[in-house]
C-alpha cells in the first residue's frame, strides 16, 4: 500500500512537473528581469542625486579658486550645497513637467519615492556632519556616506516595501536555479518515458517501434528542458551583470565621499551658526532658491565689508 501510494505520488509529480515547468521557468525569468531592472532603477536614484551634488561642489570650488572665503564652516557649506542640489533638481523637473506634461516621470517619482529618498538623504547627511570635530585628523566621511546611503528607506526598498538587498541576493542565484530546473525537467522526462519501455514486445516489431518513438519524443522534450534552463541562465547572468546595483552603489559612495572630502579640505572649521534655518523639503523650490541666493549675496557683502574694515587684513 505504501509503495503504491509513493509511486502514485511520484507519477503525479512527473505529470504536473512536465506540465508547469516551461511556463514556470519563463514566468520566473520575466519577473526576475523586471525586478532586477526595478532594483537598478531604485539604486540609480542615489547615483542621480549624487552626481548632481558632485557637479555643484565642483562648480562651487571652481568659483572659489580666485576669491576663497575666510572662516568657512564645513557644516554651513555642505548644508547649503545639499539644499541647493535638492531644490534645483526638483524645481527643474517640475518646470520640465509643466512645459511638457510627463506623467511617466511624475508617476516614477511617486512609485519609487524619489523625492522622499533625496530629502531623507539630505536630512541625514546634515544631521551627521553637524557633530564632526574639526582637527588635524580628517573625519570618517566614507563611513558617514555608506551609513547614510545604506539606511535610506526609500532607495533601499523597491516601491518602499520590498528590501532591495534580499531581493538582489535572490536574483543573483536565479541563473543557477534555471540550470537546476532544466536538469530537473530532463529527469522528469526520462522518468515519464522509462515505464513505457516495459511494454515492448520483441515479437511485435511495430508496437516496439511505436513505444521507442514515443520514448525518443519524451527524451527530446526532456533535453529541451535543459537547453531552456541553460539559455535562461545565460541571459539572466548577462542581465545581472549589466544591471549590477552593487557596482553602482560603490561608485555612488565613492563620488559622494570625495565631494564631502573636498569640502572638508576647503573649510576652516565645522561651526554651526546659531539660529540657522532647518532644511525644509516641503518648501517651494523657487522661493527656497531665491532665499538661498539672497543669503549668499548678503554673506559675501558682509565678508567684503569686514575685510575693508579690518586694517590688518587690508595691509596683508
pLDDT by residue for the chain (316 residues), tens only, comes to 555 675 566 566 666 666 777 788 889 999 999 989 888 888 887 788 888 899 989 988 888 776 666 678 888 889 889 888 888 888 776 665 555 555 544 556 666 677 778 888 888 888 888 888 877 677 888 888 888 888 887 777 776 677 777 888 888 999 999 898 888 878 777 777 666 666 666 666 777 777 777 777 777 777 888 888 899 999 999 999 998 888 888 888 898 999 999 888 888 888 887 777 777 665 655 555 555 554 554 454 444 434 333 433 333 3
Q: What is the DSSP letter of 132?
A: P
The predicted structure's pLDDT at residue 104: 45
Q: Compute the distance between CA of residue 182 and CA of residue 77 in angstroms, rounded to an integer.
A: 57
Asked if residue 302 belongs to a domain, the reply is: no
Backbone angles phi, psi at 198, to 5 degrees: -65, -15
Asked if residue 107 belongs to a domain, the reply is: yes
Asked if residue 65 belongs to a domain, the reply is: yes
What 90-96 contacts at long range (C-beta under 8 Å, 24+ apart), as own/partner pairs, is 90/115, 90/118, 90/285, 91/285, 91/286, 91/289, 94/285
Q: Cell triple for residue 232?
A: 535562461
Domain assignment of residue 178, given as a range: 33-292
The predicted structure's pLDDT at residue 302: 44
Asked if residue 213 belongs to a domain, the reply is: yes
The predicted structure's pLDDT at residue 268: 83
Asked if residue 25 belongs to a domain, the reply is: no
Asked if residue 205 belongs to a domain, the reply is: yes
Asked if residue 297 belongs to a domain, the reply is: no
Total count of domains within the chain: 1
CA angle at 72 for the pair 149 and 117, rounded to the nearest 5°:
20
The predicted structure's pLDDT at residue 151: 82
Yes or no: say if 121 and 152 are a contact pair by the CB < 8 Å rule: yes
According to DSSP, the β-strands at 162-163 and 157-158 are antiparallel
CA angle at 71 for the pair 68 and 77, rounded to the nearest 5°:
75
Q: Compute the distance between CA of residue 257 and CA of residue 252 in angstroms, rounded to an integer.
A: 8
C-alpha closest to that of 70 among 311, 315, 302: 302
| Predicted structure pTM score | 0.70
Asked if residue 185 belongs to a domain, the reply is: yes
C-alpha closest to that of 258 among 58, 18, 7, 103: 58
What 170-175 contacts at long range (C-beta under 8 Å, 24+ apart), as own/partner pairs, is 171/32, 171/35, 171/36, 171/39, 171/236, 171/240, 172/240, 174/28, 174/29, 174/32, 174/233, 174/236, 174/240, 175/232, 175/233, 175/234, 175/236, 175/237, 175/240
Amino acid at each position: 500500500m505504501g509503495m503504491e501510494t509513493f509511486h502514485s505520488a511520484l507519477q503525479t509529480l512527473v505529470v504536473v512537473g512536465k506540465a508547469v515547468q516551461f511556463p514556470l521557468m519563463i514566468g520566473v525569468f520575466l519577473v526576475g528581469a523586471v525586478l532586477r531592472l526595478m532594483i537598478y532603477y531604485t539604486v540609480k536614484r542615489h547615483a542621480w542625486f549624487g552626481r548632481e551634488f558632485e557637479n555643484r561642489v565642483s562648480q562651487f570650488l571652481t568659483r572659489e579658486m580666485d576669491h576663497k572665503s575666510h572662516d568657512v564652516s564645513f557644516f554651513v557649506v555642505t548644508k547649503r550645497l545639499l539644499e541647493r542640489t535638492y531644490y534645483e533638481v526638483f524645481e527643474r523637473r517640475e518646470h520640465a513637467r509643466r512645459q511638457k506634461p510627463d506623467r511617466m516621470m511624475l508617476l516614477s517619482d511617486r512609485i519609487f519615492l524619489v523625492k522622499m529618498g533625496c530629502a531623507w538623504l539630505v536630512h541625514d547627511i546634515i544631521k551627521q556632519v553637524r557633530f564632526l570635530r574639526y582637527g588635524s585628523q580628517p573625519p570618517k566621511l566614507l563611513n558617514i556616506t555608506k551609513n547614510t546611503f545604506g539606511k535610506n528607506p526609500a532607495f533601499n526598498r523597491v516601491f518602499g516595501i520590498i528590501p532591495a538587498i534580499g531581493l538582489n541576493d535572490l536574483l543573483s542565484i536565479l541563473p543557477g536555479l534555471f540550470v537546476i530546473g532544466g536538469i530537473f525537467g530532463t529527469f522528469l522526462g526520462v522518468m515519464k518515458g522509462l515505464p513505457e519501455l516495459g511494454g515492448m514486445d520483441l515479437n511485435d516489431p511495430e508496437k516496439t517501434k511505436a513505444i521507442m518513438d514515443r520514448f525518443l519524443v519524451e527524451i527530446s522534450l526532456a533535453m529541451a528542458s535543459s537547453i531552456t534552463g541553460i539559455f535562461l541562465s545565460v541571459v539572466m547572468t548577462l542581465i545581472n551583470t549589466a544591471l549590477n546595483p552593487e557596482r553602482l552603489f560603490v561608485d555612488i559612495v565613492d563620488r559622494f565621499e570625495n565631494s564631502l572630502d573636498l569640502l572638508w579640505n576647503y573649510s576652516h572649521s565645522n561651526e554651526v551658526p546659531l539660529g540657522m534655518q532647518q532644511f525644509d523639503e516641503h518648501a517651494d523650490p523657487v522661493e527656497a532658491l531665491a532665499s538661498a541666493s539672497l543669503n549668499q549675496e548678503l554673506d559675501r557683502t558682509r565678508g567684503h565689508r569686514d575685510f575693508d574694515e579690518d586694517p590688518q587684513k587690508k595691509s596683508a
